[in-house]
Structure 1
Amino acid sequence: MSLEELTDEMAQQYADFDDELAVSLDRETRNELALLETALEPEETDELVRRAIHMLFQTTVETGKLDFHLRSGFDVTYDEYLSGMTFGEMTGADQYPKLDDERRYRF
């Protein structure tokens, strides 16, 4: 897969989300959410969910897990996604033809 395919899939996923997202919670998650709601007293429960997504995203980026999954699935990193260019494109490595070992030293 490539940077273009990642961008296309991201656009599709983004389009699939509505302003509201229904999420089913298991008992453990409900209990943790209730405790956070009680302790942090946000104006809305939605705020806690938004914070949780931001924290998960940040942790995934900082630990390298996002890059690992992006590299495995799309052969790009998060930095490459943000810049819109692969590392090879950034450094110009993609501009040169592959070396042919049989004709390498012929003039």
Structure 2
Amino acid sequence: MSLEMLTDDIESTAADLGESLPVELDRETRTELALLTAALGPEETDELVRRAIHGLFQTTVDTGRLDFHLRSGYDVTYDEYLSGMTYDEMTGADQYPQLDDERRYQF
């Protein structure tokens, strides 16, 4: 997998999700959402769901779990995705040929 494949998968999934997402809630989740709605009083429960997704995303980034899964599945990190370049591309490491240790010091 690669950075390009990750970008394609994200764009494809975002297009599939569209503007709205019907979600079925189990009893526990419905009760928790009702409690949060009563306590926080948002205009719509959609706002709490958006906040929950942002919170989960931030926690996943902060703990390094997102990078772990991206590295496992796509061989990139979140920083590489944001910059649009891999670390090798950023540092120029992919521009130099591999060294041949046997011929390194021969003239």
TM-score category (smaller protein): over 0.9
**Paired positions, count:** 107
**What is the TM-score normalised by the length of structure 2?**
0.95
Gaps in structure 2 of 5+ consecutive residues: none
Residue 24 of structure 2: aligned partner: 24
Q: Deviations over 1:40-93 (max 9, x none)?
A: 110000000000001011111111111111011111110000000000100000
Report the residue type matching 1:73 in the other structure: G
Correspondence 1:65-104 to 2 at 5 A? 65-104=65-104
Q: Deviations over 1:12-55 (max 9, x none)?
A: 01111121101011111111111101111100000000000010
Report the residue type matching 2:50 in the other structure: R
Report the residue type matching 1:94 in the other structure: D
Residue 4 of structure 2: aligned partner: 4
**What is the TM-score normalised by the length of structure 1?**
0.95
Report the residue type matching 2:34 in the other structure: A
Gaps in structure 1 of 5+ consecutive residues: none
Aligned-residue Cα RMSD (Å) equals 0.9
Structure-1 separation of matches of 2:94 and 2:86: 9
Residue 38 of structure 1: aligned partner: 38
Structure-2 separation of matches of 1:106 and 1:16: 58
Report the residue type matching 1:101 in the other structure: D
Structure-2 separation of matches of 1:105 and 1:7: 42
